[in-house]
Amino acid sequence: MSALTTWTDESIARLREHHANRALSNLDISIKLNREFGTVFTRNAVIGKRKRLGLINPNRPHKPLYVKAPRVRKAASPPRRWLPKVEPPTMPEEEIREAVVTDQFQCSIMELENVSCRYPIGEVGDLSFRYCGCPQADMSSRRPYCDAHARIAYRPSHHP
């Protein structure tokens, strides 16, 4: 057996010291020993020596403590299979307008009152052109639109 892979009293004593530090892996210990004693111990050599010294239970391999941290974090995040597979309902903009705006108050410009919503329905100039007319506006308070049309009219121009 080469001297480079022979355990000495000094290297064994150091191995016991490193063993007390549970943050060190077998690879860490082999590197430290090789650096200090000029040896070429492999990770497996360290494991074998620790087993022979009775420092570790061969049935329960020694693992450094820091290995546990990422495992805990992994378990904390919900598995992907819990996520709903159904897409969130998306509705075209036109359908949204129809859903929240009623046409029962539509009126011409001659019929507009203080509370009539001024939101234009149809093309300006057409015979069929009307205003929404919903009595939720208040021109005296500078509210020209009903609630639904105010949301549409004052929506930010940049769409997501």
Which residues contribute to the site for Zn ion (CB under 5 A)? 117, 119, 132, 134, 146, 149
Name the minimum Å distance from CB 121 to Zn ion.
Answer: 8
Name the minimum Å distance from CB 103 to Zn ion.
Answer: 9
Name the minimum Å distance from CB 160 to Zn ion.
Answer: 24
Nearer to Zn ion, 56 or 134 (CB): 134
Nearer to Zn ion, 18 or 149 (CB): 149
Nearer to Zn ion, 29 or 132 (CB): 132
Q: What is the DSSP string of 78-98?
A: PPGGGS--SPPP---HHHHHH
Nearer to Zn ion, 24 or 134 (CB): 134
Nearer to Zn ion, 51 or 97 (CB): 97
Residue 137: burial class (beta carbons within 10 Å; 0-12, 13-18, 19+)? buried
Are 124 and 99 contacting, i.e. CB atoms less than 8 angstroms apart? no
Phi and psi based region of residue 38 (left: phi greater than 0; alpha: psi -120 to 50; beta: remaining): left
Q: Measure the CA–CA gap between 84 and 2, rounded to whole angstroms.
A: 62
Name the minimum Å distance from CB 84 to Zn ion.
Answer: 35
Q: Measure the CA–CA gap between 29 and 115, rounded to whole angstroms.
A: 83
Name the minimum Å distance from CB 75 to Zn ion.
Answer: 52
- Which residue matches tokens 């010294």? 53
Which of 36, 13, 33 has the alpha carbon at shortest distance from 24?
33
